[in-house]
Amino acid sequence: MIGEELAIYFENSARDALGYEHVEGCLRLGRDGVELVFDEKDRAFRKTPAQTVHFTYLEVSRLMWVSRWFRPKHLIFQTRTPERLADFPGVEAGRVDLFVTAESRADAAKAPALLEFRRSEALLAESDKRLDRERGEFESGL
């Protein structure tokens, strides 16, 4: 699991009867961060390009897999920087529900554990940098 990268595909259906705000995309948990790629399919005659939003592991505050019987399976993705998700339809205070496709459900179930592992690696690296910086300041003061 350490060298693993996950790609979770989702499809959020339209939020109204006219078919507006239908979103398809992918959530990728890579080595260096999280990437949310989404495409809004809201109008037949207007094509919008796919948007990509990058997050560091320290910016993601929550990733939770919700799998209940007879209910849609989804990931709850929440970030500490809600302004970056301003263009995503249905976002509420930096929180997005991503309805996972059937092919990606196994990867989606692994995603919260992988996120916690990567976040702990990022915290450790940040702590090491801070200690090295403080150590350098201490040694220069001697």
- Quote the pLDDT of residue 1: 42
Query: Which has the closest alpha carbon to 73: 30, 12, 114?
Result: 12
Cα Rg, the chain, nearest whole Å: 18
Tell me the average pLDDT of the chain: 87
Q: What are the tens digits of pLDDT across the range 23-50?
A: 899 999 998 899 999 998 766 566 678 8
pLDDT band at 59 (very low <50, low <70, confident <90, very high): very high
Output the 3-class SS for the chain. Answer: CCCCCEEEEEEECCCCCCCCCEEEEEEEECCCCEEEEEEEECCCCCCCCCEEEEECCCCEEEEEEECCCCCCCEEEEEECCHHHHCCCCCCECCEEEEEECHHHHHHHHHHHHHHHHHHHHHHHHHHHHHHHHHHHHHHHHC
Tell me if the domain spanning 6-141 has CATH number 2.30.29.30.
Answer: yes
Domain ranges of the chain: 6-141
- Quote the pLDDT of residue 2: 45
Beta bridge partners of 8: 27
pTM: 0.82
**Distance from C-alpha of 86 to C-alpha of 78, rounded to nearest angstrom:** 13
**Distance from C-alpha of 97 to C-alpha of 119, rounded to nearest angstrom:** 21
